[in-house]
Structure 1
């Protein structure tokens, strides 16, 4: 299969037609029975946005460029020239705590317990990244995964006493360590607008001055319309943005749903995992500065000389783009290519945070993004399983499983 044939692009409109669609209908696999009936296929804007909403919409749109002169960006830039930089905790979860250094594109996840959950994170992260790479799917980014340090090998923490010192306050050492690429947080202008838009006035100043809010990633909850404003607690760490809020900002939720559909198909049918508890987040990508010379330019230089960027730094924190990232693989498990594997994948999707669009929605927007998700999921699965025609019914069984799970939920809620 050629590289062009391998490449999965999910943001095209109209959606790519499955290469087996005619066979699908002929074999009574009924793709269209998995879709919602909706009069139009485009989400209609509810009205003109205010100035704040226009700016926030632009900054949260995928691949948008954001420039910042914030003290945080200056701090990251200055830290690149330091030999030693303090470690700080930037996040925590069930699996462990996450540490980072200013100016460094690494994160260090240390386990809370010395079981194999972080080792599973390492394996499943690598497995998923490899599957995305095989299909050249770049519309959702995955952090680079670097290496793992077991808790019973003390040399790494001995060689990095600053990490051990920072981690000792929240972790029981020695601990397992997983080193991967850091997802840059959303830039300060975006963070300020999020606070201005969604934070209650009485705690707005506290939110602006809270240094923890610098570590801002936004979770797009396409499967929830429960977004509210003005709660007693506000944090930009893993900020939850619900479908109704994204629609209010006129974000391209249909494209986001399409990307999620393709990503889930790759995780299920190429990586052969259940994608349990993975997270989708809006984060930044900082510009890596490259001053690489062409061969012709290099041959004109007569003696060894500096050829790096004029700024003498390797990463530009002042210019970022907004991207959709996939992370957190510690609970992911492998699946079998049969009904049992599909049931496992459906259960994982059912208990995950509501990133994925839900079927049987009441509004036209919910129906449109469900259709986009389901179509791209089936399309990508058909490409991946092109040489295994006998398995093509399994991706459809997964979509049907999501529908049935939602039907059961609606039935329970009605009583």
Structure 2
């Protein structure tokens, strides 16, 4: 069975995601789809709007066949490791033929060319400019984009322009991950339509809005769901309404977790904060100094107080998520991340997905985990704790919901 792989967050699943799913199946010629989805925390460091189970249910209701969880160890990482973790899982399944991602350009050839150039090396001048940019703490794509822009030239200018797009940048990392793994999966790209990655407003007269715009509408209160409804598949709207009525939604995002986060930061001395993944260059002292000066206790005011040109909001949000979840130690180092995820966690599946799981019994390179209680792995324990922390912030928290990893089977009804 020809199968396409998707790397997703579905926070929440909207019409743009439906377009991507259908186009991915179309251009890949696939009969089935496997989605690797971030769990309770997003790659930009934000808590998810809904539980991973509700978002997996949205995906299955829209036509995804198998939903796998991207471990929080990789979900809360910069693009390089986020992409590597997700692609590693798709490759390890042994049933995925291609990886299809959304991008601003919608073209795969420039990304393949750029990946080859990055791996092969460039001129001495560009390599020196790249080294300097990396030394300043920039990510590899950002550093390469700046170095290419400084050096000029047709190819370099084109590379800089391409890497100015967030989804093209992430797409480049998918391509690099495929090469790093020597994977036989083919990379494919779907052009993003209508809404941009960071567009915060609902577009008038269009059927596609960004997830950012949908969440912003939901944060406006009771009427927000009606505002967002035209941009959601009916199944997503139904699940959103159910979760909102049950008190299992976080439309306010980080502010719902402000109290436990601030408690974690206040009660830990700077030398302990320094152990948090991503903490560097005395940032722990900047945080400790900012806390007594906040006008009100909250995450937004904290981010505003510690944000600089070098420390972007996204980087700081990931750092705060690591601090909230008490992440530390060698598991978060490059050597550990380079080993990839150590299991394939199943969140839900369709009848076609069930067939894929049967095939994976023979093809998978990693243990396939259906019941968390049966696989006491340190990486999986991080996932379970992260889900419990997110669910504890719901308006109507429930212990069984917090620890659904132990109690609930994969989603099969949607």
Pair in the same fold by TM > 0.5: no
TM range (shorter): under 0.3
Query: Greater helix share, 1 or 2?
Result: 2
**TM-score under structure 1 normalisation?**
0.21
Query: Greater strand share, 1 or 2?
Result: 1
Q: Which one has a bigger Cα radius of gyration?
A: 1
